[in-house]
Amino acid sequence: MTEIVMPRLSDSMEEGTILKWLKADGDAVARGEPLAEIETDKATLTYESDAAGVLKIVAEAGDTLPIGSVIAHLDGDDGASTKAAAKPEAEPQPDEEQAAPAQPTTEAPPQPDAQADPSADSAPATPAEPPRPAAPPAGRREGRVKASPLARRLAREHGLDLQLVTGTGPGGRIVKSDIEQAAKHPPAPAPAETPAAPEAAAAPASTGAAAAPASPPTAVTETGTAKGDVTVQELTRVQGLIARRMAESRATIPTFELRTEIDMDACVALRAELKALGGDAPSYNDMVVKASALALREFPRANGSYRDGRFELYGRINVGVAVAATDALVVPTVFDADRKSLREIARETRALAERVRTQAVTPPELSGGTFTVSNLGMYGVTDFTAVINPPQAAILAVGALARRAVVGDDGELVARHTMSVTLACDHRILYGADAAEFLARIRALLERPLALAFS
């Protein structure tokens, strides 16, 4: 029997969510055949089987599991041997020791210490508020407790009775965030005659799992508050990752910002000439990516990171380009940007942006960045400060390119194409003078862009 575990699909991945099984329990699976759709901290992708056999599903759709956790078994013989082997394989797993009723198809009798009514409510989120418990799906407490393996293990560690915990995962399944919430406010059995509340108040979910009784909704609405109707939206895994990493960045990185205006007249003229030649004409952002990559060659600490009291300087210059996706911000990577021509960068960034929008981008394309460019100029934003993407040393925020009145060399006002850029730096690895010289080099390359076209 072959174990299928949650794979590591990106360098920053710690856990993954099974969105959908593409094969049913007991189906025959061939090597290389699509097995499941897995959502990682970077993207959603199809996981293919690296072995053949008969599938025995261990983790259900909606489960969020750490890397290395068993999600299924593949038996190389037949379905009968798979069923016979399923129980002994599952019993040694620590996450399933309290889940004996979850394996059989028949309902198990309730435990003596869990005689609460199936519709009994959980304890309120805070003692001061009146209880607004989540209503479990029909038959929720009768025998079979639906919980992820990670939730079962955490429940044992906290001494929690799963019969008394309300699940906010798909189909009322108990997930990690439910156990964490219950550990803060231990649930107590409600009186047997207490009716279930008609609506559920969504519990906070750090894992990004949707709160869902039968079919997972994207939001839960509470009524009767002083603020009017309150709609609580669960985070996707990507949104949860962004929230954690941006909070980490602001909390742990001592940041300073440098801002400058760049005369882009020469870039405008160069782009017009390249467009006239045909082919993939680079955008102004492509020029910024190229200029940043060439400047990073000369300032290796800007292409590094501060980690554990040391500087890490990277041999490759990989520039991340922030792309707005549906309800998220995704940063695909242009690898070896300093060695690629402007046209190559233009083709690659267009292809990456399209794959992000169609959710076809792969984890390797979202990893390995050493510097990031974020451009909001297309939205009319004149300047802004971007948040550093840890552990990178810096990020360049690019504002709108527009014709503005500037003072010419003869002291007269003239209209020129200008663009504001802001460099946010990690002060632990980039100091003021170094960062100023690095930003000045980017400006010089963009104001005399022939070096961009011929390097």
Q: How many CB atoms lie within 10 A of CB 161?
A: 17
Closest C-alpha to 13, from 176, 179, 218, 244 = 244
The per-residue pLDDT for 327 is: 75
Q: Give the list of residues 6+ apart from residue 36 with CB closer than 8 angstroms, or none.
A: 18, 19, 20, 21, 22, 23, 46, 47, 71
Catalytic residue among 73, 158, 417, 427: 427
Q: Is 417 a catalytic residue?
A: no
Q: How far apart are CA 134 and CA 125, in angstroms?
A: 10
Q: Which two tokens stand for residue 28?
A: 């025959």
8 Å CB contact between 163 and 138: no
User: Mind listing the pLDDT tens digit for each residue in 210-266?
Assistant: 333 333 445 666 666 788 888 888 887 778 878 888 898 999 999 999 999 999 999
Q: How far apart are CA 24 and CA 39, in angstroms?
A: 19
Angle, in degrees to the nearest 10, between helices 265-276 and 284-298: 120
Domain spans of the chain?
Answer: 2-92, 110-252, 255-453
The per-residue pLDDT for 410 is: 84
CATH code of domain 2-92: 2.40.50.100
Asked if the 255-453 domain carries CATH number 3.20.20.10, the reply is no
Using 50 as the pLDDT threshold, list the residues of the chain that sit under it: 78-131, 133-142, 190-217
